[in-house]
């Protein structure tokens, strides 16, 4: 008599997990980059670089004043 072999769904489970992981990563990536579209990051960087430049120029002018130039 022929024995009926059970179907093995192991690779279907693995494939499903891989697909689910890829979809989850893509969803989280899209959510993570939402704030970049608003321009807030560019504005904060501009403000930061302005402050750094201001500090740099004020340090140079005070150093020149101290040395008597």
Count of domains in the chain?
A: 1
Angle ∠(49,34,41) on CA atoms, nearest 5: 5
Residue 68, pLDDT score: 55
Is 55 a member of any domain? Answer: yes
Tell me how far apart the alpha carbons of residues 64 and 38 are, in angstroms, rounded to a whole number: 41
CA 39: distance to chain centroid? 15
Residue 14 has pLDDT above 90, yes or no: yes
Residue 52 resides in a domain: yes
Predicted TM-score of the model (pTM): 0.46
**Chain centroid to CA 66:** 44
Over residues 15-69, the pLDDT tens digits come to: 999 999 999 999 999 888 777 667 777 888 899 999 998 887 876 655 555 555 5
Residue 17 included in any domain? no
Confirm whether 57 is domain-assigned: yes
The verdict on residue 67 lying in a domain is yes
pLDDT of residue 1: 52
3-state DSSP assignment of residue 1: coil
9 CB neighbour count, 10 Å cutoff: 10
Classify residue 14: in a domain, yes or no: no
Q: What is the pLDDT of residues 19-29, one digit of tens each?
A: 999 999 999 99
């Amino acid at each position: 008599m022929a024995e009926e072999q059970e179907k093995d769904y192991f690779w279907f489970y693995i494939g499903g997990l891989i697909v689910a992981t890829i979809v989850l990563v893509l969803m989280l990536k899209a959510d993570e980059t939402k704030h970049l579209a608003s321009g807030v990051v560019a504005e904060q960087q501009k403000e930061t670089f302005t402050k750094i430049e201001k500090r740099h120029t004020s340090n140079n002018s005070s150093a020149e004043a101290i040395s008597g130039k």
